[in-house]
């Protein structure tokens, strides 16, 4: 963005100051005010010796007494008196318009005591620029100190005076903050006079500025000077869905623009009938589902009527009042024909001249998120300890351990390694299959058994003989 006072590059394009706007008038000021009397060079016979001066590009404005000998006009940079030292600002209004502005803000002339000292020279402007460059670093360090002291407050902006002898810290807090210790730390750190000023969330946003959801600059930082209370009733009158995230502005409060068109909606709602949510007919009860304020239509749907299910009937305000009056007299009208009262339906969608009745349903319909099915994870085979191969790697079936592999493992154990005993009492299923084991033994009587297997059977017999109770007549 660039205004007429911004420098240009080789091609003639304005370089801009980086303020992202506020360039319409007032030389990149916020809350611009157009002095049309000075712009048209109209002589004012009744000179008014009060002027309006803006500081820090329109973030703060105040009224001062203009000395006629100073000869300062609208747009000049002037040096003005303050409680401690002096400050430098730009004249935004002068003459008769200042009288109207003071009347609007309810400021009497007796309350204006400070005067304009002189026009600002180059040294005053250089000192002012140095003060503006210190503000960002001061804000960061001030936030660190307040967080160290554990204060429940938020620093929004810092404004240095033109002589760099005083700094005003603007902060927001939900309650009262005891910042006596904080002011001492700031004075020790920055070596200047400190002033703490509490502001609201909307005033903070107007000082900082920004871009709204509409794509334009914030109203509070460009032209809106007074903040009126806004509630959710304004959104209900305008048929806006109550969505807190969409109704809130940059400050976290309800948007000020909800009040802009409220009066127009209230005037249009006066023609609508009261208590017309339900209308009774011979075909069934009609329930109000939608209201089109500017078209003057009320959309109804039949309740408890299978024949007319899904049929939407559009009634005008006058027709709805007639049916409501008939219902009060216990008179039920006939079935309302939806074809004559409903909105026109386009039969040919490819017709370019056809008017389509589209409506914005943003925020009215919210689709729920469908739960996604989780994919089943395949069981990962854990590696066996010691690097032993699994039965699948050996060539056998998974889950089974063939007898030959057991015998081979037992032969490789060596003579010095003790064998792990197995108790058959823990396996009752093997006792039940003793008959099948005997049949297998009889079928294999002709085949010689290996010596290692015979030795294992003998060891098992000795082991079980030790655990058995001794018979009568035998020594233990």
SS (H, E, C) 431-467: HHCHHHHHHHHHHCCCCCCCHHHHHHHHHHHHHHHHH
What are the residues whose beta carbons fall under 8 Å from the beta carbon of 146, sequence distance 6 or more?
153, 155, 182
Report helix, strand or coil for 271. Answer: coil
State the pLDDT at residue 353.
Answer: 66
Tokens coding 256: 């000020």
State the pLDDT at residue 138.
Answer: 95
State the pLDDT at residue 384.
Answer: 56
pLDDT in tens, the chain (476 residues): 445 455 566 665 655 555 544 444 444 556 777 777 777 777 766 678 899 999 988 888 999 999 888 888 888 999 999 998 899 999 999 888 899 999 988 999 999 999 999 999 999 999 999 999 999 999 999 999 999 999 999 999 999 999 999 999 999 998 888 888 999 999 999 999 999 999 999 999 988 888 888 888 888 888 888 888 899 999 989 988 888 888 999 898 999 999 999 999 999 888 898 888 888 888 888 889 888 888 888 898 888 777 777 778 888 888 888 888 888 888 888 767 554 444 444 445 566 666 656 566 666 666 667 777 777 776 765 555 555 555 555 554 444 444 444 444 444 444 444 455 444 444 444 444 444 444 444 444 444 555 544 444 444 444 445 455 555 555 54
DSSP 274: S
What is the CATH architecture assignment of 127-207? Answer: 2-Layer Sandwich (3.30)
Q: Please classify residue 458 by burial: count the beta carbons closer than 10 Å to its beta carbon, then call 0-12 exposed, 13-18 middle and 19+ buried.
A: exposed
Strand order through the sheet with 77-81: 60-65, 50-55, 86-94, 77-81, 116-119
Strand order through the sheet with 278-281: 278-281, 284-292, 297-303, 312-316
Q: Which residues of 318-349 are buried (b: 16+ CB within 10 A; e: fewer)?
A: ebbbebbeebeeeeeeeebebeebbeeeeeee
State the pLDDT at residue 381.
Answer: 58
State the pLDDT at residue 26.
Answer: 41
State the pLDDT at residue 47.
Answer: 76
State the pLDDT at residue 430.
Answer: 45
What are the residues whose beta carbons fall under 8 Å from the beta carbon of 159, sequence distance 6 or more?
55, 56, 59, 60, 135, 167, 168, 170
Q: By 3-state DSSP, what share of the chain in percent is helix, strand and coil, each rounded to 5?
A: 30, 15, 50
What is the C-alpha separation between 64 and 114, in angstroms, rounded? Answer: 6
What are the residues whose beta carbons fall under 8 Å from the beta carbon of 455, sequence distance 6 or more?
none
Domain positions in the chain are 1-28, 36-120, 127-207, 228-270, 278-341
**Helix ranges restricted to H, 48-152:** 96-104, 122-148
State the pLDDT at residue 376.
Answer: 72
State the pLDDT at residue 357.
Answer: 60
């Amino acid at each position: 963005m660039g205004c007429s006072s911004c420098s240009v590059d080789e091609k003639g394009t304005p370089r801009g100051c980086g303020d992202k706007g506020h360039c319409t008038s007032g030389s990149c000021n916020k809350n611009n005010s157009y002095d049309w009397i000075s712009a048209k060079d109209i002589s004012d016979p009744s000179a008014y010796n009060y002027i309006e001066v803006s500081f820090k590009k329109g973030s703060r404005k105040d009224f001062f007494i203009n000395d006629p000998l100073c000869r300062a006009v609208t747009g000049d940079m002037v040096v003005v008196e303050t409680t401690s030292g002096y400050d430098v600002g730009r004249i935004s209004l002068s003459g008769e318009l200042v009288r109207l502005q003071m009347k609007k803000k309810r400021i009497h002339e007796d309350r204006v005591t400070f005067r304009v000292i002189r026009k600002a020279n180059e040294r005053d402007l250089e000192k002012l620029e140095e003060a503006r460059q210190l503000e960002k670093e001061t804000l960061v360090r001030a936030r660190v100190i307040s967080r160290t002291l554990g204060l429940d407050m938020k620093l929004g902006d810092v404004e240095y005076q033109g002589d760099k002898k005083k700094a005003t810290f603007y902060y927001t807090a939900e309650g009262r903050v005891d910042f006596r210790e904080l002011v001492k730390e700031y004075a020790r750190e920055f070596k200047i006079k400190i002033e703490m000023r509490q502001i609201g969330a909307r005033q903070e946003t107007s000082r900082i500025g920004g871009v709204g959801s509409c794509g334009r600059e914030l109203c509070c930082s460009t032209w809106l000077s007074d903040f009126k209370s806004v509630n959710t009733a304004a959104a209900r009158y305008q048929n806006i869905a109550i969505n807190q995230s969409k109704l809130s502005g940059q400050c976290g409060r309800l948007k000020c623009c909800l009040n802009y068109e409220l009066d127009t909606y209230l005037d249009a709602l006066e023609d609508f009938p009261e208590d017309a949510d339900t209308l009774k007919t011979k075909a069934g009860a009609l329930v109000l589902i939608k209201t089109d304020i500017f078209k003057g239509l009320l959309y109804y749907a039949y309740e408890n009527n299978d024949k007319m299910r899904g049929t939407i009937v559009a009634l005008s305000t006058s027709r709805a009042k007639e049916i409501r009056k008939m219902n009060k007299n216990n008179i039920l009208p006939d079935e309302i024909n939806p074809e004559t009262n409903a909105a026109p339906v386009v039969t040919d969608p490819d017709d370019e001249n056809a008017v389509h009745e589209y409506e914005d349903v943003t925020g009215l319909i919210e689709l729920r998120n469908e739960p996604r099915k989780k994919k089943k994870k395949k069981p990962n085979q854990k590696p066996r300890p010691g690097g032993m191969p699994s039965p699948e790697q050996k060539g056998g079936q998974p889950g089974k351990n063939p007898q030959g592999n057991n015998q081979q493992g037992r032969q490789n154990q060596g003579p010095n390694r003790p064998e792990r005993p197995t108790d058959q009492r823990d396996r009752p299923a093997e006792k039940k299959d003793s008959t099948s084991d005997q049949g297998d033994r009889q079928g294999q009587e002709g085949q010689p058994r290996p010596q290692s297997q015979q030795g294992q059977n003998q060891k098992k017999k000795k082991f079980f003989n030790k655990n058995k109770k001794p018979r009568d007549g035998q020594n233990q």
